[in-house]
Amino acid sequence: MKPIDCKVLVLGAGPGGYVTAIRAGQLGLDTVIVEATKPGGTCLNVGCIPSKALIHVADEFEKTRRFAGDSEIGISVVTPTLDLAQTVAWKDGIVTGLNAGVRALLKKAGARLVVGWGTMIDGKTCRVKTDDGEVRIRAQNVVIATGSESVELPNMPFGGNVISSTEALSLSQVPPRLTVVGGGYIGLELGIAYAKMGSTVSVVEAAERVLPQYDSELTKPILDKLQALKIEVLLGAKAKCLSASRDAAIVELTGNREKNIPSDKILVTVGRRARTHGWGLSELDLTTDGRFIGIDEQCRTSMSGVYAVGDVTGEPMLAHRAIAQGEMVAEIIAGKRRAFDAACIPAVCFTDPEIVTVGLSPDEARAAGLDCKVGSFPLAANGRAITMESKVGFVRIVARIDNDVILGIQAVGKGVSELSASFSLAMEMGARLQDIAGTIHAHPTQSEGFPEAALSALGHALHI
């Protein structure tokens, strides 16, 4: 097959890669993007989107189950049932629609999609195995966007009852007993969803706390919900191996104790690692940063004309970071002056309740040697939260003592993920407490907790 020559070659069409290609195409750069499976990457096919679809169904099912019989708010329904195979078919429909959307966006931007596994031969050349044979692509600029994959436990490899998040998003039946190994983002988002759909869930977490990346004030409402859902949480516990009959997880607890957890499925969610093998990394002269490809603030690697974006470049492994890097890299290749200098990268954990964080927590600010003040507003005092039957959680602001510049904002509560937009904007605009307190927030909305938290930090909250 005739070789393809282009200005930009993108390897991997996840959020990092496909956004690079769209923006490069928009800027008039001759762009080719190589994807082994379907465009959209982990995020669209087996990550953000399908997990949120499943979480939505679990929430709706839990809500409906609550109304089987009498309820305080006057709704009564017959006992509902859940057909998980139908749920998964619905979820697959969403994913397929969005796959087509990404394809259309690439086409509209003039970027060419080549489907097949790509292997770099050198810093300018990629060999792609397509259904129609091998294609050789030569590019002036290469963007590596190969993403990440689930970490496997050596003593509990994937297969049979042991599943990764990918399989957990496509089960045809709700497993009666689900053991989740790893109480981080994925483990708790999916563990809570399955508990709501009817599984008896156990969470095995090696650290002394679930969601160890968040402070205990933020995770307390999640712990309360885990208890309400009767999810067993084993802390300081490591999955050791499968039982001989392969229908139980054997877990090492502190004090050399062991526990046997009978399980229909064991979902292993102990992190994700950069996809750095199988595509010719060894043929490139790239400096690594631990297990990731090393990059500078312009996503340049150690090789001239080779960039890297997204999960393959490290933490935080979040879709919106990959997207922001991809957009920037396309502009840099087009000659624009850009650097990755975001004031914050928001993080949202779609547990019940949800957690949203931007910038520094109080502990992180103090650890950085910053004198700070903290204002907090409980959602139990927020009219909108009360009318939504949700009184748990709070909005919290961390600001410098000397000039009230905001250092970080956190919230936990029902639906607070949507507050991430105003939190990020406040950080990006360099807001002070007075800016937030002086911004009129619509009533009644949970967003009113934001200026109230600012007022609390200033010493005069109005509604507490």
List residues near ligand FAD by CB under 6 A. Answer: 11-17, 34-37, 41-43, 47-48, 51, 117-118, 145-148, 165, 186, 275, 279, 310-311, 317-320, 322, 350
CB 249, CB 261: distance < 8 Å: yes
Residues 219, 461: Cα–Cα separation, whole Å:
24
Closer CB to ligand NAD, 48 or 329, in the complex: 48
Residue 238 binds which one of ligand NAD, ligand FAD, none, with CB within 5 to 8 A depending on kind? ligand NAD
Closest distance between ligand FAD and the C-beta of residue 354, in Å? 10
Distance CA 57, CA 61 (A): 6
Q: With binding defined as CB under 6 A, does residue 417 bind ligand NAD?
A: no
The backbone torsions φ and ψ at residue 313, rounded to the nearest 5 degrees and listed phi first, read -100, 0
Name residues contacting ligand NAD, limited to 332-351 (CB under 6 A).
348-350
According to CB under 6 A, which one of 239, 299, 409, 433 is a site residue for ligand NAD? 239
Written as six digits, the tokens of 3 are 């070789």
What's the CA gap between 426 and 435, in Å, rounded? 9
H/E segment holding residue 252: strand 248-253
User: What Cα–Cα distance (Å) separates residue 43 from each residue in 120, 165, 410, 453?
Assistant: 24, 12, 24, 33
Indicate whether 271 belongs to the interface with ligand NAD (CB under 6 A): yes
In the complex, the smallest distance separating the C-beta of residue 397 from ligand FAD, rounded to whole angstroms, is 23
The set of catalytic residues is 443
Asked if 202 and 226 touch (Cβ cutoff 8 Å), the reply is no
**In the complex with ligand FAD, which residue's Cβ is closer, 165 or 446?**
165
Identity of the residue, 212 or 305, whose beta carbon is nearer to ligand NAD in the bound complex = 212
CB-wise, 51 or 141, nearer to ligand NAD? 51
Nearer CB in complex with ligand FAD: 37/227: 37
Task: Tokens 């982990």: give the residue.
Answer: 42
| Pair of tokens at residue 151 | 């970490």
Burial class (CB in 10 A: 0-12, 13-18, 19+), 133: exposed
Residues 6 or more apart from 88 whose CB is under 8 A from it? Answer: 169, 170, 171, 172
Closest approach of ligand NAD to the CB of residue 410, in Å: 15
Determine, following the binding rule CB under 6 A, whether residue 327 of this chain makes contact with ligand NAD.
no
**CB 214 to ligand NAD: min, Å:** 10
Q: Closest distance between ligand FAD and the C-beta of residue 236, in Å?
A: 25
CB of 205 to ligand NAD, least distance (A): 5
Strand, helix or coil for residue 274: strand
Task: Indicate whether 124 belongs to the interface with ligand NAD (CB under 6 A).
Answer: no
Q: Based on the shown chain and the rule CB under 6 A, indicate whether residue 226 belongs to the binding site for ligand NAD.
A: no
For ligand NAD, which is the closer residue by CB, 318 or 437?
A: 318
Q: Which is nearer to ligand FAD, 135 or 226 (CB)?
A: 135
Give the one entry of ligand FAD, ligand NAD, none that residue 35 binds, where binding means its C-beta sits below a cut-off of 5 to 8 angstroms depending on kind.
ligand FAD
Distance from the Cα of residue 168 to its chain's centroid: 16
What is the C-alpha to C-alpha distance for residues 400 and 457, in angstroms, rounded to an integer?
Answer: 10
Stretch that binds ligand NAD, among 85-93, 181-189, 296-304, 426-434 (CB under 6 A): 181-189
Structure tokens belonging to residue 12: 């991997």
Q: Which does 17 bind (CB under 5 to 8 A by kind): ligand NAD, ligand FAD, none?
A: ligand FAD
| Among ligand NAD, ligand FAD, none, residue 43 binds (CB under 5-8 Å by kind) | ligand FAD
- Rg of the chain taking only CA atoms, in angstroms: 24
Sheet containing strand 347-349, strands side by side: 347-349, 354-359, 406-413, 394-400, 372-378
Place of tokens 């067993």: 232
SS3 state of residue 315: coil
Count of residues in contact with ligand NAD, rule CB under 6 A: 26
| Per CB under 6 A, 206 contacts ligand NAD | yes
Task: Please state the closest distance from residue 183 (CB atom) to ligand NAD, in A.
Answer: 5
Binding site for ligand NAD (CB under 6 A): 153, 181-187, 189, 204-207, 212, 238-239, 269-272, 316-318, 348-350
